[in-house]
Structure 1
Amino acid sequence: MDKQYTLKNTTYLKKLSALVLAATMAAAGTVAILPGSTNSVYAAAASQKVNKAVVHVQVEGKAVATQGMLSKSGKTLVPLKDAAKALGATVTYDAKTHNVIVTKGKQSAAYTIYNDINTDNVFAAFNGGALGESYDGQIVKGVSYVEAKALSEPFGYRTVWNKATSTVNFTTVGVNAVTVTPTKLADPIQNKYTTVNVVYPVVSGLDNEAAQTAINKALKDHFDKYLAGMKKQVEEAGTPYSKDLSYEIDGGYKVSYNQNGVISFLLTDYQFLGGAHGDNILTGMTFSLKDGKALKLDDLLKSNASYRQDIKKMLQADIKKQSDEMGYSLEQFNDLSKNSSSYLNNYYLTDSGFTVFFQKYDIAPGAAGNPEFNFTFSQLLKSGVNPLKDFK
């Protein structure tokens, strides 16, 4: 049984498992067609359309011998194999899963190029887990191109775009001097019909050991609590009704921001215990590396006493604007936010500002996934105000 989330309007960690992949190996990647998508002939034809906008590639400000291009949506694409090697990573192909595996140190990502309606995309699963993220991608003359963020985010880089020179620079300049190591939780569910794959982050390298301990405890406690709850649910569910059915429990994360003395994570809990599809819960966790304090938007936007009302108005306008295309419900949002602003706890930081997200069904049908809305600090704070100055 296929278990997957919609790939439309999502930039968060998501599940793409149990797919029947019709894959064709390319020089640096694979072409895979999702069930129900356009046929492989159309997909191959679409993949060969070359965007003539050349993008120059740098690593730490130095040019490397490869070139990228722009996707149809304007995203920066780089050749997966060549760009990964330029970052000092190893690149291998897994013939069993039809994935390109990129590994650097203790970090890894498995990439699959697939066709979604009429465009190519790449799905990157992180650190041996089953969860990952969807990015723009394209196959051109047998070469797999992926969105630059598909390489920078898993491996601790920032991507800096220079519009004047059409150059993307992979750099660690400005990144906090901290190591994040993927670690698997022990499987507490011992039966033959349940697969558990929970990968959580462990932070190291901080001068303040108490802060480091507090951050790691909060992260591990989250997944420990999740697994304990799922163990109970599996026991209550009992043996699957079909011998061909198995249960699946996954946990994963991504580092969405790691600068200016602050680190921000987006955690995903995913479970499938039968039914038409699985379900997931997203959790944002942001910490000050100085003292290990968990940060809320209150801590970042405190100079604007009306920030809650300001964000609410902007969300109402955006939800109404996208109601027809995305299925968002202004009525559901208004009910959710009528007497509470607790939905603002669902956020994570980005290089551009922060993202507020909603759980499935909160403001839209399940097919809409987890709606996300991006904000810049300049939209909410006076000019010159730095919301992160206290944490450096």
Structure 2
Amino acid sequence: MDYEISAEHLGFCYGNKEVLKNINLKIKEGSFISIIGPNGSGKSTLLKTLSGFLKPQRGAVLIGEENLKELSQREISKRLSMVPQNILLEFDFKVKDIVLMGRHPYIKRLKGETPEDIKIVEKAMRYTNILEFSDRLYNELSGGEKQRVILAQALAQQPRVLLLDEPISHLDLQHQVEILDLIKRMSMEEGLASIAVLHDLNMASAYSDHIVMLKAGEIFCEGEPEKVLTAENIAHVFNTDVTVSKNPVTGKTYIYPISTIPKKKRDTKIHIICGGGSGSKLIKELADNGFTVSTGVLNIGDSDWAASKEYELDVAEETPFLNITQKAYEKNLELALAAYCIVLMPIYFSKANIRNLELLTEKQLKDKKIYILGDRDFEKRDYTGGEARSLYKGLKKQLNVIQLEEYELIEALLKADEGNE
């Protein structure tokens, strides 16, 4: 296997402080690599050393078979492009002029750019979808547009290696996805070896072919995202407890942080029937008030399922797009029977989840308080052809069913808990 860039026994010190220790990496063309780690672990220093901006005291950086330290800066720039964390420019330029700066390593002194240079610049601008504002001033652009301009400049260099220092750190979610999509596409279609320092572990998981996890200047572990992003590794390196699961849509590893704020523990148990984000706020409020909460039946990957995992709740779960199975139904019933009361949130009902409504009519739960929140517009939430509506009408006639607003529910539960103390 030929590698675009590799590091061999790399070491770097700032004065007497050793920042990088015996780094060994091999990165092939067409791959997207993320470097992750806590602040101070050496991520940016590693990137700057790979770029040649910093000279290592030990070891070597190779591009192909060539040692970086034996190449001139012009030759390095033909092989490697660095996108810095700070993309602010002191002087304002037109977008097309900034992209043209990427051709600097190829432009001969006193001769200026050639028609071929202009052609390459236009191709880079078209590829990054910035051709339409090529005559606008850089500092008039949004953060996402600026990042695309800098990526176009890097692409105009025609490098084999693209290094990016926190390319999405100052962008909103839409532009984070847009930029990482673009970088991934550049890697796949242009054959670049792209290496990015990322703070967002879920973004690293979603886009990376390979992840390098640093701790105190050393490679703690590296490999495919599912191998690196384990709860044990994250706890050891980031000193943070997380829950790790699979995104049901993409199959990628997904990480949920676990809050460490101490809470008053209450004996009262609450079971919530929710889904689609209807229960996330209540889950947080009840958990923050110290109640023992359970949920179900929720599809794996649902936002209420994610909130349940974040707060380490007991949850009856089901595979997405399947009707609730008997196993999930029995788990849901078990949690409901163990609770002081059950709360039904204003969820949408289909054939897939109607058994959540059927559960509340079980004779075993006839002495259990059932609170209905958000009773309005049930007809609009019924996608069962009226079956759910019929069950719901019967449910509301039960003596153990109480209709409340959410703020009333919290007050009622706090009073009930205090009465049990």
What TM-score, normalized to structure 1?
Answer: 0.25
- Greater share of helix: 2
What TM-score, normalized to structure 2?
Answer: 0.24
